[in-house]
Structure 1
Amino acid sequence: MSSLKHMPTSQDQLKKMAGERAVEFIHNNMVVGLGTGSTVKFMVDALGKKVKDEGLTIVGVPTSERTRLQANRLGITTKGVDEVDHIDLTVDGADQIDKRFQGIKGGGGAHLWEKIVAINSDKNMWIVDESKMTDQLGSFPLPLEVIPYGSKQLFKRLSNKGLNPKFRMKDGQHVLTDSKNYIIDLYLHQIDDPEKLASELDHMTGIVEHGLFLNIVNTVIVGYESGPKILHAR
């Protein structure tokens, strides 16, 4: 008899695993922030199934138009962040998480809305596959959402600081966020002091929000080949 070879788990399978595990933390009558990105898409699919099959009653607060459209297609009631008086839990993805549970988000261009929802949530949970875990932030480009007016001048200031900025473009056009802003990605390779960099970016006129999410997440669910692992950050 021929032996069966072990087939490695695909990245999508790891994302799906983490997303489905997160839904177990969502209960009746909760107000839930719905993140944005490929891992969250699996979570919202699983949440929609739970709403349909089990009659779960929740309100979702989406962090992007594409998440809102997906949730509504699946029968999940959604409201804007200013239409609810609290958010029990936000479940979102992340592009990179370091060993101190600090994160980079915004690869999907939604980090402004994601951060607004996150800071107004009682608890925050991130769901990722194992490739997103790292010792040090920075190998993933750091996104900035910026006002279009004066963005070239801001770009020059960022460049003069040695932050290696690049406008995010698609088909020769600026990528626009849901708030109709531009995105500049900083190719830093490593970030030695995330808190210092965050403070510096916070004080630069023209930057609406950066993708450093510091001291925000409470729980991380990581999809590993051996199964999902729950990590408690704070």
Structure 2
Amino acid sequence: MGIIDQNHQNAEKLAAAKAAVKLVKNGDIVGLGTGTTATFAIKELGKLVAEGLNIKAVASSIRTEELAKSLGIEILNLGEISSVDISIDGADEFTEGLDLIKGGGGALFREKIVASMSKNAIIVTDASKKVKKLGSFTVPVEVIPLAYQYVFDQITKLNGKGKKRTTDHQDYFTDNGNLIIDADFGLIDDPKALSNDLNKIDGLLAHGLFIDLTAQVIMSEQSEIIIFK
């Protein structure tokens, strides 16, 4: 991607983030996502907090928590609350039916917990993330290390091509101390069925198919804000 394309994409992400944070109300507990688009939203929330907005938040990753705290956003322990009022996160892919692939940044388990707890789960994206069918982006799978080979084999039985995620030629570990398998299933005809099949695999902690978890997607395209819900 060229610099001009990247700048254009970032402008769309920022516009979508600004539209999303307008939905946050005084007194809300806010779920904060992880990734480049979520970062724009967190920075916008930080500005509002500095201007007097009274919120508390839960974070879907260590890096999100550190960013939020640096901006003066009070962070609660995710394990000590049962619901959040609104969450704002990004996506790697989404369809108009609000099926998503998430987890390219490696925070899918916590992101899925936050989305599940959220009364109003908002996804913010640029136009490049909208697809007719999920699957051009691989499905991240967070797996407990001792179950790695078993889960890998089960993914293969579901006609997926798995690859262990690495960084700098070393195994990539999530904030939870787990491995990630990036699974290529090709274009996915029935995301819900695949999600159900993956959910049945012991040792698989979470996968990046987010089905029936999203209230709306706020997408910026050029100078237009488009909402899917």
Shorter chain as normaliser: what TM range?
A: over 0.9
Task: Give, in angstroms, the shift of residue 227 of structure 1.
Answer: 2.4
Q: What are the within-5 Å matches in structure 2 for residues 1-234 of structure 1?
A: 10-52=8-50, 54-231=51-228, 233=229
Please give the secondary structure, in 2, of the residue aligned with 1:150: helix
Contact 1:99/1:136 (<8 A) preserved: no
Coordinate RMSD, CA, aligned? 1.4
TM-score of the superposed pair, with normalisation by structure 1: 0.92
- What is the rounded CA distance, in whole Å, between the counterparts of 2:148 and 2:98 in structure 1? 31
1:4 maps to: none
Query: Quick check: which has more Rg, 1 or 2?
Result: 1
- What is the rounded CA distance, in whole Å, between the counterparts of 1:118 and 1:27 in structure 2? 18
The 4+ residue runs of structure 1 with deviation greater than 6 A are none
Partner amino acid, structure 2, of 1:173: Q
- What is the rounded CA distance, in whole Å, between the counterparts of 1:85 and 1:174 in structure 2? 32
- What is the rounded CA distance, in whole Å, between the counterparts of 1:224 and 1:174 in structure 2? 36
Task: Give, in angstroms, the shift of residue 187 of structure 1.
Answer: 1.3
- What is the rounded CA distance, in whole Å, between the counterparts of 1:44 and 1:230 in structure 2? 20
Change beyond 3 A, Cα 1:218–1:157: closer
Please give the secondary structure, in 1, of the residue aligned with 2:119: strand
Contact 2:142/2:180 (<8 A) preserved: yes
Structure 2 unaligned spans of 5+: none
The percent of aligned pairs where both chains have the same amino acid is: 39
- What is the rounded CA distance, in whole Å, between the counterparts of 1:86 and 1:170 in structure 2? 33
- Count residues with an aligned counterpart: 225
Please give the secondary structure, in 2, of the residue aligned with 1:140: coil
- What is the rounded CA distance, in whole Å, between the counterparts of 1:18 and 1:221 in structure 2? 6
Contact 1:90/1:117 (<8 A) preserved: yes
- What is the rounded CA distance, in whole Å, between the counterparts of 2:45 and 2:67 in structure 1? 11
Moved more, 204-213 or 77-86: 77-86
Structure 1 unaligned spans of 5+: 1-6
Task: Give, in angstroms, the shift of residue 229 of structure 1.
Answer: 2.0
Please give the secondary structure, in 1, of the residue aligned with 2:31: strand
Task: Give, in angstroms, the shift of residue 99 of structure 1.
Answer: 2.3
- What is the rounded CA distance, in whole Å, between the counterparts of 2:97 and 2:54 in structure 1? 34
- What is the rounded CA distance, in whole Å, between the counterparts of 1:78 and 1:157 in structure 2? 37
- What is the rounded CA distance, in whole Å, between the counterparts of 1:86 and 1:119 in structure 2? 8
TM-score of the superposed pair, with normalisation by structure 2: 0.94
Partner amino acid, structure 1, of 2:209: L
